Structures are given as C-alpha cells and as structure tokens.
Structure 1
Amino acid sequence: MATPGRTAIGTPASEPAPRRELAVFTWKVLIVAGVAALALFLWRVSGTLLLIFTGVLFAILLQRLTGYVSRFTGLGHGWALAIVLLLLVLLIGGGGFLMGQSIASQVDQLREQITTAVGALPDSWRERVTEQSRNWPWMSSLSSFASGLAYMVGDLVVVMFAALYLAASPGVYRRGVVLLVPPAGQDRAREVMDVTGEALWKWLIGQLVAMAVVGLLITAGLWILGIPSAPALGMIAALMEFIPLVGPFLAAVPAVMIAFAQSPQDALWVAGLYLVIQQIEGNLVTPLLQKRVVDLPPVVTIGAIAAGGVLFGILGMFLATPIAVTVMVLVNLLYIEDKLGERRHFPSS
C-alpha cells in the first residue's frame, strides 16, 4: 500500500508543479544575472583585453618572422627570435630617430610661421590673440599631455611583454587555452586557434604591404611637391593606413595644413595627391592583395570601425578590423560549420 509522498514502488513522489516552476525561474534569473555580471566584468576590463589582443597580434608577427629566420638560418627558436627583435629595434629606433628630427625641425618652422602670421594681423586682432595666449591654461594642458603620455608608455610596455612571452613560448599558452575546453572538444579548439591565427597573419601581411606602399608613395609625392617633412608625413600616412577607410583622411590633415602654410595652391596639390594615392590603394593594391589574404565584407569593416571608435576610442578603431576577422572566423567555424552543418565561407582557403 502506497504511503503519502511516495509512489507505489517506493520512490519519492514527483515535485509539485509550483515548486518546479519556481526552481526553473530561479535558475533563469541566476543565469541572466551571471551573464550580466560577466558582461559588466568584461566591460570594466575591456582596456586590458584590448592590450592583450594587441600583444597577440604582435606575437603572431614575431612568431611568423622567427619561423622564417629559423628556416633560413637553421638556428633554434630562441636565437631566431633574438635576431628578429634586434632587427625590429634597429628599424623602429632608426625610423623614430629620423622622424623625431624631422618633426622637431617642422615644429620650429611652424612656430616661426605662426609668429609671422600673428605679426601680420591688425593691431586689435594681434592684441586679442596675445591676451588669449596669456590666459591659456598651458600648465593644465601640459599636465594632461604628460599624464596621457605616461599611460601610453605603460600600455606599450604591457603589449611588448605580452607579445614577447607569447612569441617565446607559444606552446605553453596554447596548451593552457586548450585545457579549458572539455576533452571531446580539444581537437576542435586547436583547429579553431590554428585557423584564427592563420587568418590574422594573412590580414597582417596584407595590411603591412598596403601600409608600406602608401607610405612610400606619399613620401615620394610630397618630396616632388617640395613639402617639408615628407618622410615624417609618409610614416604618419603608413601608420594611419592601419585604420581602414578613416585613417587616410586623418593622415591627410597635417600634410594639408603644412602645405597651406606655404601656399593655398600647395595645399590643393597635397589634397589631390592623397586622394589619388588613396584611389590607387583602394582600387589596385588592396584588390590584388585580397586574392591571397583575408577579405572582409565592407559593411562589416565599416560597422567594426564605427563600433570600436564609439566603445573604445582610438585603440578600438585600430583593432576593429582584426577583432572583426577573429569574430568572423569563430562564427564560421563554431556556428556555420558546427551548428548548421554548412561549409564555412570565411576565411577563404
């Protein structure tokens, strides 16, 4: 004979429906709260995550260059990495020294031009400009600039050390990430990491080639036009080419301003030069590179740059495209292939 609360075979009776509904609702609330807490945590540490992602990009560059040097010279991974680092230090240090000298001379020239322009103003205007310059809170601005520079140097140190550790022992960190995945999915995790790394490397190669081409063309064009600081402006154009669509317009601003200080006609010639070179890069260089590198849809690129700039500022704009590449790879592998069972379309083989 069955007793209250138990079935005829002696097992506990099923839980009342209201209690089951309360348990399900409680679990839903906890899941939502957990997701919200995780999103808030990621948002608070987003700056650190972007720096780590920058370190990963630089580590991919170092690791690939190290592999090429190792195969060419027969040296071990450590010695090959040391050679790559030495060459990069010499390249960046030499370029920074030349750019610093050019910028210093340009600043002196610009100061002289501003002084001459102020002296040519009418007396009432010159007195007003002089009075405004005296009241300008230069100490506060200098303090803000120094603080921002200190933060930038600190971020650069974090990126460099992260990249060095990742490039020196990539297998250690790769195994650590794979161990976070259940054993049944570890092979797939390795494949996803390999495809993502290859896609980011292809994107880096295409970006570096485009940057070099734009920098050389801008330098040569400005030198022909007789614009001061052509190498420095060419380097700025090459660096800003890292930001698709928006970067070339930002790079043209200082060049046009310097040219306008010489004459309005020079400013028009410089603006036309940047426009022509941007058309060459967009219609000739980039399409040729995209046959062998990662090709993101334009809408994805524009949306990523806009979102990165709004959410994370200038660093978000710089990293918007590689982050979009990573997201596209994950969506294609983990959703289109694994969930939908269809063939992935990105990155192209």
Structure 2
Amino acid sequence: MSTPEPPAKASQPAPGPPQPPPSGPRTLRLEIPPSTLLRLVLLGLALWGLIRLWPVILVLVVALLIVGTLSPAVQWLESRGISRGWGIAIVFASLFTVAVLTVTLTIPSLLAQASALLEREPMARAGLADYLARYPLSTPFANWLKHLDYSASWNQVGATALSYSMRLFEVAAYGMSALFLGLYMMIDRDRLRGGLFAVVPRTHHIRLSRVLLNLETIVGAYIRGQLITCLLIGAFTFVLLTACGVKNAMALAVFAGIADVLPYVGAIMSVVPVVLVALGHSPAIAAIVLVMMLAYEEFEGRVLIPRIYGRALRLPSSVVFFALLAGGTLMGLLGALLALPVAATVMMLIEELRVELPGEQEQVADTVLRARDDLAEEEYERRTEGVAAEQAAAIAVEISVDRKKEEHQAPPPSGT
C-alpha cells in the first residue's frame, strides 16, 4: 500500500531587485480650508489696521496712563464728600494751574541758562582739555577734545529745524488729544466700564475687575513714582550745584530730572554732565559733586524707589533691563518709558489669570486663591441677578476692592 505523496507547492518567483518608481512629475496638492483662509485675511487686516492706527493707539495708551494717575486723587476727593464731577474739575484745574506756573516760572530762566552753557562750552572744553593733558593716561582724550570740531553738525541744524518743529507740534497735538481723551474717559467711567463688562461673560467679571484695579495701581504708582523721583533729583541737583557755586544750576537740574525717568541709564546720564560742568570750576568741586550725586543715586535706588513704588512694580533687575532694551529698540524713548509698566502688567496678568507656566507647580497659596475666586464669583452671581451691566460692573469692583483690603490686612498663605 503506497502512501500518497504530498501535493507539490506552487512555485513562487524569486524576488528580484526593487523596481524604480514610475518616472514623470509628481503633483502635490495643497488645500487650504476656507475657514483658515478667512482667518489669515482677518489677521492681515488687523495687522494693517494696527499699523495705520498706531498713533491713535499711542494716544489711547497715554490717555489710560493719565486716567490711572489722576483717578486716585479724584477718589480721594469723593471720599471727602465731593461729587465726582467736581472732583474731576478740581484735579484737572489744579494740573493745568501747576503746568502754567511751571512753564511761566522756569522756562525763561531755563532757556537763558541753556544759552549761557552753550556760549561757555568752548572755554569749558578747552579748560578740561588742558587739565586732562597733564596726565599721560588722559592725554589722548585731551587731544580729542582740543581738535573736536562740530561746526559741520551745526550747519545742518537749520536744514532740520523745520522738520523737528513740525514733529514737536505733532507730539504736542497728540499730547493734548490724550489729555482730553483721558478727561472724557474719567467723566464717562461708569458707561465705559459697563460697556466693557457687557461684552465679557459674567463668569469672568470678578477677575476682570481685579485686573482693572491692579492695572490702575501699576500705572498710577509708576507715573506718580516717576514724577516724585524726577522732582527730587532735580531739586537735589539744584541745591547741590547752587551750594557749590556752579553756574546754570537750574538747566543742569532740569536735565538731571528728565534723564532720571530711565532706570540705570538715567543715573549715568544725569551725573556725567553735572560733573563735567563742575570740573570746569575746580577738581575739588567736581569730586564733591560726583560723590554727592552717586550717594543720592544709591539712596534713591535702595530707599526711595522701594517706598514710592511699593509692590506695584515687582520686577527683578534682569526683567527691568530686558524690558528697557526691548522697549527702546522697538519704540525709542517712548518705548523705554512704557517698558516697565507693560512688563509689570504682563506679570500681573499671568498671576491674576492663574496661568500655569510649564516649569511651575501649583502651590498651596494658589489653591487658596482659587477657592477665594470661587467664593467671590458666587457672591457676585447672587448680587447681580437681573442687574444691568453698568450696575454689575460697580458691584464687581466693590467686591474686588473689599477682597483686596482683606488680602492686604491678612498675612499671605504660605506655599509648600
């Protein structure tokens, strides 16, 4: 009996070399959804409008700075029983009176002293060059001062005077527009705030009111702090130079006060011209002025600024320096002036909106703050049921103010 043979396997062709892809051009189709295309068009229109309306946006920003600076004074008058309308009138009338008196009393003398400084500049430069020529290390700088010729630069002043005057007129017009816009915003505060709260969901009204309060605190503290520090260094420089017998003290003091608006850089800008002018009188007076100015800058940085600004600008030195560089690069002097409040506002928004940063873990303090937010929102929902947006905005601000007072009185929760 023979066993059946297994069926023979079908022969498979041996694998050959890989076949090359078919020759010829390949067609790639890029399809953009209509919604994406619409978003790109809207983004382009928004950027175009932002560029075209940039001066108007700057006017709005300056107006908000004015409102944030003057609102505490109006609120203080309101707490003394004066109506809001009369309080605004008193504050703006006082501001206008102070500005007129300042211009009337200081500008003529300032122009005269500045003219005298320009007339004495060749003689002072020659005296400084002769003094530096006595020492080998400063001889190259002395020779540079002796041969310094800026007559070519002065010849261009006449050609650019008209453009600068037109630019100055434009800046003055924008400044007046910002002032009047700030006045109208303070008068129509309730309606503007009600309109803003009407377009924001009610679940975010408490947080929005806290952001507005903190923003007003940051802006007001920064502007008032700048005014106070500039006035103090100007007064100190004037008294110091007058006591040392240095001429044209007012012009140098005004320059020091204006330069002090820039942190770090302003200190050097305010000290160097004052010391150079004092050096034209005698090295001893220049040394005294240098030591006193440096001592005041140290006193301002360690004592005055922390007390004046308080907790409004809680910025590390590295953030301050980076913000100044970025603001100055993007917008020049105006950008440098706005850099610090903008940086403080960004940090405040990160804190108030409870933005979780990638390298940060949630602390116990954050949990407590979230619980307080929930309680405040529940109270707000209960008190504003069936209430118009304008009244709801006032209630939200009232709740946020009360909570802010409680936070200042109670010790902050400790994180682990």
TM range (shorter): 0.7 to 0.9
Pairwise CA distance, 1:220: 2.1
**How big is the alpha-carbon RMSD for the aligned residues of Structure 1 and Structure 2?**
3.6
Aligned equivalents of 2:122, 2:31: Cα separation in 1? 76
Equivalent in the alignment of 1:53: 61
1:83 to 65, 90, 100: 90
Give the aligned length.
319
- 1:138-195 Cα offsets, whole Å, 9 max, x none, are 4212212212211221121122112211222222222232233234433432332122
Quote the Cα distance in structure 2 between the aligned partners of 1:110 and 1:236. Answer: 12
Cα distance in 1 for residues equivalent to 2:163 and 2:286 = 32
Contact 1:62 1:167 in 2 (8 A): no
CA distance in structure 2 between the partners assigned to 1:131 and 1:281 by the alignment: 36
The answer on 1:112 being equivalent to 2:119 is yes
Q: SS state of the match for residue 355, structure 2?
A: helix
Q: 2:262 matched to which residue of 1? A: 243
Q: Which amino acid aligns with 1:215?
A: G
Q: 1:106–1:44: structure 2 CA closer, same or farther, 3 Å change rule?
A: same
Q: Are the aligned partners of 1:54 and 1:319 in contact in 2 as well (CA < 8 Å)?
A: no
Larger % of helix: which?
Answer: 1
- Corresponding position: 1:287 with 2:306: yes
Residue matched to 2:209: 190
- Tell me by how many angstroms 1:65 deviates: 0.8
- TM-score normalised to the size of structure 2? 0.65
How far the C-alpha of 1:207 sits from its partner, in A, is 3.6
Task: Give the counterpart of 2:102 among 89, 95, 106.
Answer: 95
Judge conservation of contact 2:222–2:309 (CA < 8 Å) in 1: no
Code of the aligned partner of 1:53: V
Cross-structure match for 1:3? none
Aligned to 1:299: 318
| Residue 353 (structure 2) aligns with | 334
In the alignment, is residue 70 of structure 1 matched against residue 89 of structure 2? no
Separation of aligned partners in 2, 1:250 and 1:47? 28
Structure 2 counterpart of 1:149? 168
Q: Could you say which residue in structure 2 is the equivalent of 1:222?
A: 241
Q: Which runs of 5+ in 1 are unaligned?
A: 1-20, 122-127
Q: Alpha-carbon deviations, 1:232-275, whole Å to 9, x = none?
A: 43344334333222222233354345434545654454343332
Q: Distance in 2 between matches of 1:40 and 1:270?
A: 51
Q: Is the 8 A contact 1:70 1:76 kept in 2?
A: yes
Distance in 1 between residues matched to 2:202 and 2:307, nearest whole Å:
42
Equivalent-residue separation in structure 2 for 1:252 and 1:258 (angstroms): 10
Distance 2:150 2:237 in 1: 39
User: CA separation in 2, counterparts of 1:34 and 1:207?
Assistant: 39
Instruction: Look up the equivalent residue of 1:242 and give its one-letter code.
Output: V
Asked if the contact 1:59–1:163 (Cα under 8 Å) also holds between the matched residues in 2, the reply is yes
Distance change (3 Å), C-alpha of 1:179 and 1:242: farther
Which structure has the bigger radius of gyration? Answer: 2
- The 1:243–1:44 alpha-carbon spacing in structure 2 relative to 1, beyond 3 Å, is farther
Spell out the pairing of 1:194-273 with structure 2 (5 A cutoff): 194-263=213-282, 266-273=285-292
In structure 2, the residue matched to 1:5 is none
Higher RCO (CA < 8 A, seq sep 6+): 2
Q: Write out per-residue CA displacement over residues 265-294 of structure 1, whole angstroms, 9 at most, x where no aligned residue.
A: 544543433322111111222234455543
- C-alpha deviation, 1:38, in angstroms: 3.1
Q: Is the Cα contact below 8 Å between 1:60 and 1:167 reproduced in 2?
A: no
Query: What SS does the corresponding residue of 1:296 show, helix, strand or coil?
Result: coil
Counterparts of 1:240 and 1:203, CA distance in 2: 16
Unpaired runs of at least 5, structure 2: 1-29, 130-146, 370-403, 409-416
Query: SS at the partner of 1:336?
Result: coil
2:46 paired residue number: 38
In the TM superposition, residue 307 of structure 1 has moved relative to its aligned partner by 0.8
| Structure 2 match to 1:171 | 190
